[in-house]
């Protein structure tokens, strides 16, 4: 084979032809129309961008791999992708910055709970299991709200400490707040819970709430008890509680090296006696297991959970264990959706971008479930489904999107388009 020669063409080709699937699904979802009903900041002149276009452009940047604002310029010159989504012109990254700087605490409190509530109304499922968790986002500048706090990977580095509520059945985010890096898990929990359960999940039936030990506090438990919501929450091992565990004489064996027991215990800070499930794992059988070594002889590691469920011990333990999946949701948000990198100088501007990102995550979760019937992460989905070279031609006064796809995969692609056409709202989860 001789030398490969180079030629140039001005043919308008996009590497993202498969995004036509997402365009059709978003039209079916009709989320852009709902944005018009919200009090989203408007442009200051007639030449300004429609806020819907700015939000859609931000989402498209994320879906195509951007993980910081400067990356949004990648698709600014992709006129074919813009034609697929009926966009005349996408803005520069600085325009996104100026748009998010228009958000403040009042705007965020007005817009995002209602947007999340609307999104939750688009699907139907049974009782929901809600997992509440937090994470650490390390910052390398002096952004508002960044502060030195709990940061196990970058000790002494400033961070933000966002709070999130996940829906286990749908793999979606029910609500999310950005918070300063020096806040505890319980900081401002009442306002967050009220917004989550009274607005975002207003029309949903809650079956169970799960949290890690960072949320273990009497006032936190009482919030759910007053509303008669079931909960399983991991427990901190205070000294008086360790003493109670040491006095347990009757354990139930689940498997070799794994035992459970229950006690009814009233902490000093509480007026209520509650049910506690204690789990001990023999270190020899579970050398890599988490838990606390409570006593001088390092034979067992212990975990404990407080609950108001009346289920058998092993069921409570197994139900809580599935909560680990929300850690996968956080990793996906960080690695595939740029949760750590879309940061601006102003705190509420960063939070606005962060919360719009959560909506993008929910759109993708619903798209994967309803159309693709897959649990692929976005990074895999881009290569598998979206990254298809395409161009637009005109035929009989009609625009045609030509997608470069092997013959054996075309029937599969046609099936996906048919899935969108056949979809009915509300979308259903098992």
Do 373 and 303 lie in one domain? The reply is: no
Q: Provide the pLDDT for residue 325.
A: 86
Work out the percent of the chain whose per-residue pLDDT is above 90: 86
Phi, psi values for residue 226, rounded to 5°:
-65, -30
Residue 359 lies in a domain: yes
Q: Provide the pLDDT for residue 269.
A: 77
CA terminus-to-terminus distance, the chain: 56
* Distance, CA of 132 to CA of 130 (rounded, Å): 6
Residue 289 lies in a domain: yes
* Distance, CA of 270 to CA of 58 (rounded, Å): 47
Between 242 and 356, name the one with better pLDDT: 356
Q: Provide the pLDDT for residue 1.
A: 62
In three-state secondary structure terms, 303 is strand
Do 31 and 82 lie in one domain? The reply is: yes
Residue 303 lies in a domain: yes
Count of domains for the chain = 2
Q: Mind listing the pLDDT tens digit for each residue in 187-230?
A: 889 999 999 999 999 999 999 999 999 999 999 999 999 999 99
Q: Of 262, 289, 307, which one is at a domain's C-terminal end?
A: 307
Copy the structure tokens of residue 115. Answer: 């947007």
Mean pLDDT of 170-184: 95
Copy the structure tokens of residue 362. Answer: 């929910």
Q: For the CA atoms of the chain, what is the radius of gyration?
A: 25
Whether omega for the bond prior to residue 426 falls within 30 degrees of 0, making it cis, is yes
Residue 326 lies in a domain: no
Mean pLDDT of 304-315: 96
* Poorest-pLDDT segment among 81-85, 111-115, 234-238: 234-238
Do 354 and 273 lie in one domain? The reply is: no
Do 295 and 238 lie in one domain? The reply is: yes
Q: Of 252, 278, 307, which one is at a domain's C-terminal end?
A: 307
Do 21 and 99 lie in one domain? The reply is: yes
Q: Mind listing the pLDDT tens digit for each residue in 13-28?
A: 999 999 999 999 999 9
Q: Mind listing the pLDDT tens digit for each residue in 370-425?
A: 999 999 999 999 999 999 999 999 988 899 999 999 999 999 999 999 999 999 99
The closest of 103, 5, 84 to 401, measured between CA atoms, is 84
Q: Which helix (H) or strand (E) holds 96?
A: helix 93-100
Q: Which domain holds residue 295?
A: 231-307
Do 100 and 19 lie in one domain? The reply is: yes
């Amino acid at each position: 084979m001789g030398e490969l020669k180079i030629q140039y063409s001005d043919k308008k080709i996009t590497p993202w032809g498969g995004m036509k699937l997402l365009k059709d699904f978003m039209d079916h979802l009709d989320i852009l129309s709902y944005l018009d009903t919200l009090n989203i900041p408007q442009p200051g002149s007639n030449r300004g961008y429609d806020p819907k276009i700015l939000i859609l452009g931000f989402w498209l940047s994320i879906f195509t791999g951007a993980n910081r604002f400067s990356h949004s310029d990648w698709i600014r010159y992709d006129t074919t992708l813009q034609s697929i989504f009926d966009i005349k012109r996408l803005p520069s990254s600085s325009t996104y910055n100026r748009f998010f700087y228009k958000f403040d605490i009042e705007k965020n409190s007005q817009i995002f709970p209602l947007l999340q509530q609307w999104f939750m109304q688009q699907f139907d499922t049974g009782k929901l299991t809600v997992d509440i968790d937090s994470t650490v986002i390390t910052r390398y500048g002096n952004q508002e709200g960044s502060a030195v706090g709990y940061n196990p990977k970058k000790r002494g580095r400033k961070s933000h400490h966002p709070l999130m509520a996940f829906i286990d059945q749908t793999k979606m985010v029910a609500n999310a707040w950005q918070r300063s890096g020096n806040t505890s898990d319980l900081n401002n929990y009442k306002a967050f819970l009220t917004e989550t359960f009274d607005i975002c999940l207003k029309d949903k039936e809650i079956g169970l709430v799960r949290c890690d030990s960072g949320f273990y506090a009497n006032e936190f438990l009482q919030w759910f008890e007053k509303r008669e919501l079931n909960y399983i929450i991991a427990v901190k091992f205070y000294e008086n509680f360790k003493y109670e565990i040491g006095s347990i004489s009757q354990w139930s064996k689940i498997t070799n090296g794994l035992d459970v027991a229950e006690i009814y215990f009233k902490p000093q800070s509480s007026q209520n006696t509650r049910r506690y499930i204690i789990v001990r794992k023999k270190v020899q059988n579970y050398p890599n297991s988490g838990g606390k070594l409570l006593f001088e002889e390092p034979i067992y590691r212990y975990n404990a959970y407080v609950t108001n469920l009346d289920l058998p011990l092993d069921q409570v333990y197994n139900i809580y264990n599935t909560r680990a999946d929300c850690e996968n949701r956080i990793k996906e948000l960080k690695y595939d959706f740029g949760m750590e990198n879309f940061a601006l100088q102003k705190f509420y501007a960063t939070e606005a971008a962060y919360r719009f990102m959560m909506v993008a995550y929910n759109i993708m979760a619903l798209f994967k479930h309803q159309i693709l019937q897959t649990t692929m992460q976005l990074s895999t989905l881009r290569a598998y489904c979206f990254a298809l070279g395409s161009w637009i031609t005109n035929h009989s006064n009609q625009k045609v999107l030509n997608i470069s796809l092997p013959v054996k995969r075309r029937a599969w692609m046609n099936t996906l388009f048919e899935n969108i056409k056949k979809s009915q709202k509300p979308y259903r989860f098992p």
